[in-house]
């Protein structure tokens, strides 16, 4: 039972509890991109500069895409065969919505790296790639304009595995 201070109406105390409860709940909910930023980043990632990785023709990976206002937001399990996305499964509500409505938006890792290169050519404020111990990209951070709001992109690549019969493109 809640006890009010003498002289403080119970109705005021109830209202204050409601406001604090709703405010705390709203702050804790956060949107997916903000939650992604807090969880992102595989421990084995190394800073930029490990760009010797060559994309195999067939592989699978998990992509968490967040930040900014873009169509490609969510978590996906992606299978690539012959250099093209052959299957994409949304692993959360946002991912399922993208796969259902815009399946062509789900990229290969090579397409993500092309986006980084495009950002660098266009002198983006941030265009960084971190690499896992085995050399594959693990985290890509893009911010096209420092002062712009919602133009960022954060891609976290995990559970990467070359598939049997995988060959290097053009070889």
- Paired tokens of 52: 């010797």
pLDDT, one tens digit per residue, over 66-125 is 998 999 999 999 999 999 999 999 999 999 999 999 999 999 999 999 999 999 999 999
Check residue 105 and report its DSSP letter.
Answer: G
Give which of 78, 53, 71 is closest to 137, Cα–Cα.
Answer: 53
Check residue 163 and report its DSSP letter.
Answer: P
**pLDDT given at position 150:** 85
How far, in Å, CA of 59 to CA of 68, rounded?
27
**Summary count for the chain: helices (H), strands (E):** 4, 6
Q: Which residue has the tokens 């790296």?
A: 113
Percent of the chain topping pLDDT 70: 66
Evaluate if residue 142 carries a pLDDT over 70: yes
pLDDT, one tens digit per residue, over 13-47 is 444 444 444 344 333 333 333 333 333 333 344 44
Flag the least confident range among 68-72, 77-81, 136-140, 165-169: 165-169
Structure confidence at residue 148 as a pLDDT band (50, 70, 90)? confident
Longest pairwise C-alpha distance within the chain = 82
What pTM, to 2 d.p., does this model score? 0.69
How far, in Å, CA of 84 to CA of 65, rounded?
19
């Amino acid at each position: 039972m809640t006890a009010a201070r003498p002289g403080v109406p119970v109705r005021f105390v109830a209202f204050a509890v409601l406001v604090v409860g709703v405010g705390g709940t709203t702050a804790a909910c956060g949107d997916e991109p903000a939650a992604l930023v807090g969880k992102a980043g595989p421990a084995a990632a190394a800073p930029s500069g490990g760009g010797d990785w060559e994309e195999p023709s067939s592989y699978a990976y998990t992509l968490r895409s967040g930040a900014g206002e873009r169509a490609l937001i969510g978590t996906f399990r992606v299978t690539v065969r012959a250099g093209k996305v052959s299957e994409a499964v949304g692993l959360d509500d946002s991912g399922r919505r993208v796969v259902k409505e815009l399946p062509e938006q789900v990229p290969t890792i090579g397409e993500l790296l092309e986006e980084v290169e495009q950002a660098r050519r266009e002198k983006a404020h941030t265009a960084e790639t971190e690499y896992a111990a085995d050399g594959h990209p693990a985290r890509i951070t893009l911010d096209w304009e420092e002062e712009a709001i919602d133009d960022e992109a954060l891609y976290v690549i995990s559970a990467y595995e070359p598939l049997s019969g995988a060959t290097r493109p053009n070889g």
